[in-house]
Amino acid sequence: MLDNECKPKKILIVGGGTAGWMAANLLATKWKGTEICLVESKEIGIIGVGEGSTPHLKFFFDAIGVADPQWMPRCNATYKNGITFDKWSTHQGFESYFHPFEAQTDDLFTTPHFFKNIQARKQGYNVDAHPDKYFLETYLSRNNLGPLPEETFPFGVAYGYHFDSALLGQFLAENAESLGVTRTYGNVQDVIVNNQGNLSSVKLGDGTTLEADFFIDCTGFSSLLMQQTLKVNYKSFKDNLFNDSAVVMPSEITQALPVETKSTALTNGWAWKIPLRNRFGNGYVYSSDYIDGDQAETELRQHLGLLESDVQARHLKMKVGRVEKHWHKNCLAVGLSQGFIEPLEATAIALSFNTVTQFMQYFGEGKGTNKFEEAFNKDINSRFDGIRDYVVCHYKANQRTDSQYWLDNAANNNISDTLNRILSLWKNSNDFAADMYKYKLMGSYQPKSWACLLAGYGVFPQKNIDPSIDYSAHQQEIDDLSNFIRRCALNFKNHNDLLTL
């Protein structure tokens, strides 16, 4: 049933992980008057990982009217300028690079130099085309500066966060309850479907029946409503992305809190290092086809210097792929129940945010009917596939030869047409950024991000360099850029100081 503004009268959210509580907050903020109930299972619990975000978490908090100081201390949260990718490439000078979030100063002043020098490098000139020289947030990160400028700095800087996922869940639950969301505990054991194929109610273990007009499936990888009950197809990304497991453990935090996630390539996957106020969160994401859980745990301990430590490790399985329909009948899947792309770019929260906000828009435009269901599903699928392509590109472009895992990843030709075209443009285009726009190939990432990845790994043709060329003008250009970025950075505070404000 719909109210007179064409919103559902009653929504039931099943699942109280980050996805469930994000959906509850957004719906309660934007669809005032709709009755919203969330049921979660104490026995099943939440996945309890996922501690890095893109700027979408900021967009989410802006949308529900919560400012950084209201939630960050409660969740041991820190700021994030981007991600360092370490040891993914073995090209000399390209062993590490930083993928920054967007800053207006980059777009306006420095990115054109980056693209110009990429082109020159592709033509065989010995110019500096490593991304680390060109972007403000790279400099901020290297100098432990947080992403909030003084008010006198008139340019926008996007940023993400690191946070304790369990504490974030608690904060969001409290906030949603303050907005009028009803919280219930129970195990959903049965889902009732009516004659039209719509969901009508769920039955809990204690016999309680919860009815609603619209249902949000936030049940994690089990996808109880969307996949198990409504039988929506699931498309695995296993052919594109080999990783299916992770082992996680905390380590001691450093005095100076980093402003970045670090992703270090290991022998059969990669390890994340995420700084919270009270600990580092670490995890090794790997493929169980190449290494088993015990070996992965030992390698992670070695990497962290924790071989002798009795710190507990948690082992997790990941299902990588997505449903074909995120909205079907009177049900929307949000979070792991709709799909997951391995966490290399920390995009799951962004996808949950986009799913809920886009759904409200399409549902509203269709006056509460399923008129725009297909368009919506196409939109969300393309966001998933765009992120998948970008993550796959990391593996495709890796330069490591120390294990079959990395060799197989580089040789893997199960990549999408879009990614094939992007790689071909990188090789052949005389204006990579313009052609990405011209052929509508960006997907979920801007040309700058694609160029950071490919230039960051040193994916350039081997050409003989003419030693007689005078590079003093280029050196002056790089010095001027460095000076400009350094002076911009004078407007930013030390990360630790920012967090104690």
Ligand X SMILES: Cc1cc2nc3c(=O)[nH]c(=O)nc-3n(C[C@H](O)[C@H](O)[C@H](O)COP(=O)(O)OP(=O)(O)OC[C@H]3O[C@@H](n4cnc5c(N)ncnc54)[C@H](O)[C@@H]3O)c2cc1C
Catalytic residues: 80
Q: In whole angstroms, what is the distance from residue 464 CA to residue 478 CA?
A: 22
Q: Are the C-beta atoms of 227 and 50 separated by less than 8 Å?
A: no
Under rule CB under 6 A, residue 103 binds ligand X: no
What b-and-e string marks burial along 124-149, b requiring 16 or more CB atoms within 10 Å of the CB?
ebebbbbbbbbbbbbbbbeebbbbbb
- Between 258 and 447, name the residue whose CB sits nearer to ligand X: 258
Q: In whole angstroms, what is the distance from residue 341 CA to residue 368 CA?
A: 30
- Between 222 and 370, name the residue whose CB sits nearer to ligand X: 222
Under rule CB under 6 A, residue 19 binds ligand X: yes
User: Considering only residues 200-229, where is the footprint of ligand X by CB under 6 A?
Assistant: 218-220, 222, 224
Please, what is the minimum distance in Å from the beta carbon of residue 66 to ligand X?
A: 17
In DSSP notation, 431-465 reads: -HHHHHHHTT--TTS-HHHHHHHHHHTT-------
DSSP-based three-state secondary structure for 228: helix
Please, what is the minimum distance in Å from the beta carbon of residue 285 to ligand X?
A: 6
The distance in angstroms from the start CA to the end CA of the chain is 47
Q: Is 18 assigned a ligand-binding role in the annotation?
A: yes
Identify the residue among 8, 16, 250, 447 touching ligand X (CB under 6 A): 16
As given in the structure block, the two tokens for residue 451 are: 């160029």
- Between 44 and 423, name the residue whose CB sits nearer to ligand X: 44
As given in the structure block, the two tokens for residue 54 are: 């893109």
Q: Is 186 assigned a ligand-binding role in the annotation?
A: no
Q: Which among 4-12, 37-45, 251-259, 465-473 is the span making contact with ligand X, rule CB under 6 A?
A: 37-45
Q: Is 16 assigned a ligand-binding role in the annotation?
A: yes
- Between 210 and 488, name the residue whose CB sits nearer to ligand X: 210
Paired with 85 in beta bridges are: 97, 263
Under rule CB under 6 A, residue 269 binds ligand X: no
Please, what is the minimum distance in Å from the beta carbon of residue 274 to ligand X?
A: 7
- Between 105 and 227, name the residue whose CB sits nearer to ligand X: 227
Under rule CB under 6 A, residue 318 binds ligand X: yes
| Number of residues this chain uses to bind ligand X (CB under 6 A) | 38
Under rule CB under 6 A, residue 17 binds ligand X: yes
Please, what is the minimum distance in Å from the beta carbon of residue 184 to ligand X?
A: 9
Q: Is 378 assigned a ligand-binding role in the annotation?
A: no
Please, what is the minimum distance in Å from the beta carbon of residue 370 to ligand X?
A: 23
Identify the residue among 8, 52, 339, 458 touching ligand X (CB under 6 A): 52
DSSP-based three-state secondary structure for 274: strand
Name residues whose C-beta falls within 8 Å of residue 11's C-beta, 6 or more positions apart in sequence: 27, 31, 34, 35, 36, 37, 212, 213, 214, 215, 216
As given in the structure block, the two tokens for residue 208 are: 């309680």
Return the DSSP state at 74.
Answer: G
User: Considering only residues 155-194, where is the footprint of ligand X by CB under 6 A?
Assistant: 165, 187-188
Paired with 52 in beta bridges are: 162
User: Considering only residues 322-351, where is the footprint of ligand X by CB under 6 A?
Assistant: 335-337, 343, 346, 348-349
Return the DSSP state at 103.
Answer: B
The residues that touch ligand X, with contacts defined as CB under 6 A, are 14-20, 39-41, 44-47, 49-53, 165, 187-188, 218-220, 222, 224, 246, 283, 316, 318, 335-337, 343, 346, 348-349
